[in-house]
Structure 1
């Protein structure tokens, strides 16, 4: 654990944090210091930099990194965004995420009716820019019935004017939007239209073949939602969604809770990418994360069973993990290089969502939202 400072850093105008190593969003740098002035980063450099002279110092034993960025958070601390899509729910979840090291996130609203989507959008508009909310992720409803997972079939529908108008309104307000859809369910040109609006299109909950995936990528789709889950697997003669994704330059979200994807498969997937650093770590967190051991979704009880979140049929229904624990597992259990794992939870998602100027890095002028990991990659402190 870090040595406690002898000053209140929250009330100190200018202070400095020395760490054994600092991850700046790109690389790990040993024996570095981050200078904070009025809540923003003033400098990142050597511990003996003259800019730090005379400032109160917190000496942290471990690795300092940018606050984590999670693009797929369904709920937390006992709340689900789908169940109560209002501003209070977002503030409640955001506060719990911040305590656990996630300082930027996309509230994720899964397949539901058009009026409920509109209600969720109003909540996003009310909270955007606070409590770490930097955009929104609509996971559905324009997905495959065959690959719907825990999504409710009755709300699955083709892309319609209700969704298009809703997304256009959010984009007009400069709110980043991630939309997960099944490409085989969309009319030709629909994905291109969404991308022209500034929507980040992700392929997921899909039964598409590789040819359909390639067409979607050609129209501008740039991401895959929770790779390996809710999609056609890779085969020897048909690459499927998984094979097409891994062989593409697109971003791929992955859940590293030890249940959704086997560790060996994660290692192979991360090594296989033709373009470096196009993997994004997501939690897919549900209400049980930092909350009670069960919750209701679509009127069905979802429970934690031996670390897995399952519905009444025993199928996976989201994840019971936060992003900091995911980073720890990726490094200590899966064996991924720490700098690469940290990029997957900071700078990579920021690049995907066009937010690298605001989150995912430690550099001068950016908000001093930071996390400190201990020697075992457990979360030691957050700022």
Structure 2
């Protein structure tokens, strides 16, 4: 039986509203509720004076961190390193992500994910397989020679993997993976996201009608809005079923474009934050290897030798700060973009992304400048 705790002295954001002079009560890894700070309780009081308590951040696209890169070392230890590295930045749940690679590497990654589930690694939410079924014309930093169509064996491997993982997200191109395949994937519980795609509005709409529900890193490596063809970007903003990840680092997307997208997006789908972080995040490295090519770190960006962006040198707290301070979005909405909206995108909002009674006790204690004081996963301190 886990100790019952009452966190006091902080402003509490439950995912919908702020609460003052309340205590957050946690027991057995779940949120028991909010009580008045001076209420009698059998819980151990944990002071968080002057801080903010907010729902834990959920990152659906994180390639690596703390020196580990899933493409290099598709192991349970690499998954543990990635989850641990980002706990210090408030991430309480993530989908370690592998970019386009060989069939063998994907098989190893899936096996590592299943092992991570069996070992109960804190913060491990499942896997994101970004590729290899993409459009070469929008490959970005993905290795073109490894991009290929999805065949029956690929599809069956994904469906089998989903049976053993809590969540499985895959990024595919709308013009490469057809509606019939998407329908089978989503019927099997896989979340399908459109990305690295030159798809037309009609192609994306057909994919969505077949079950696709996301767009990967909005604006990047996808067809843009045109006057006669809305492309993937226009589809993501117009089609209400779609949620879309956003890399908010001031490099991947112009701040004006972010503002336009936030104002234009039709719900219930939402724009949410992702880091697209690489192994270099959380280290002092100046470069690293990605599928046999060197990626260089300079001026806050990660680029291949030809200048192509290759992931991001970003944390969730930095993305939140950028959205709030540079873009000017209200803090509570930005916090939802880092917690509730990604939970909704993978249909986990019943127990994640908020601090209502019965939710997982995944939360972050932040100071006044949005730095992390401590991170709690399932009611246990993961950082701080």
**1:95-244 pair list within 5 angstroms:** 95-128=84-117, 129-244=120-235
Conserved? CA contact 2:192–2:211, under 8 Å: yes
Gaps of 5+ in 2: 377-384
For the pair 1:75 / 2:64, whether they are aligned, the reply is yes
- Counterpart of 2:280 (choices 279, 288, 293) is 288
How far apart are the structure 1 equivalents of 2:69 and 2:49? Answer: 35
For the pair 1:262 / 2:262, whether they are aligned, the reply is no
Normalised by the length of structure 2, the TM-score is 0.92
Q: What SS does the aligned partner of 1:60 have?
A: coil
Match of 1:6 in 2: none
Q: Which moved more, 1:110-119 or 1:346-355?
A: 346-355
Deviation at 1:38, TM superposition (A): 4.5
Q: 1:36 to 1:188 in 2, by over 3 A?
A: closer
Q: Which moved more, 1:295-304 or 1:13-22?
A: 13-22
Conserved? CA contact 2:59–2:342, under 8 Å: yes
Conserved? CA contact 2:31–2:358, under 8 Å: yes
Task: Give a deviation string over 1:77-117, Cα, whole Å, max 9, x none.
Answer: 11110011011111111111112211100010111111110
Match of 1:341 in 2: 334
How far apart are the structure 1 equivalents of 2:215 and 2:303? Answer: 23
- Counterpart of 1:353 (choices 346, 351, 369) is 346
Normalised by the length of structure 1, the TM-score is 0.92
Deviation at 1:310, TM superposition (A): 0.6
Q: What SS does the aligned partner of 2:97 have?
A: strand
Deviation at 1:15, TM superposition (A): 2.7
- Counterpart of 2:38 (choices 45, 48, 58) is 48
Q: What SS does the aligned partner of 1:302 have?
A: strand
Deviation at 1:203, TM superposition (A): 0.4
Deviation at 1:50, TM superposition (A): 3.5
Q: Which moved more, 1:108-117 or 1:123-132?
A: 123-132
How far apart are the structure 2 equivalents of 1:242 and 1:39? Answer: 39
Report the number of matched residues.
372
Q: What SS does the aligned partner of 2:74 have?
A: coil
Deviation at 1:270, TM superposition (A): 1.0
Q: 1:145 to 1:34 in 2, by over 3 A?
A: same
Deviation at 1:355, TM superposition (A): 1.7
Gaps of 5+ in 1: 1-10
Q: What SS does the aligned partner of 1:51 have?
A: coil
Match of 2:239 in 1: 248
- Counterpart of 2:54 (choices 62, 65, 85) is 65
How far apart are the structure 2 equivalents of 1:346 and 1:84? Answer: 28
Deviation at 1:213, TM superposition (A): 1.1
RMSD: 1.9
Deviation at 1:243, TM superposition (A): 0.9
How far apart are the structure 1 equivalents of 2:289 and 2:46? Answer: 46
For the pair 1:374 / 2:364, whether they are aligned, the reply is no
Q: 1:186 to 1:65 in 2, by over 3 A?
A: same
Deviation at 1:353, TM superposition (A): 1.1
How far apart are the structure 2 equivalents of 1:211 and 1:111? Answer: 25
Deviation at 1:204, TM superposition (A): 0.4
Match of 2:379 in 1: none
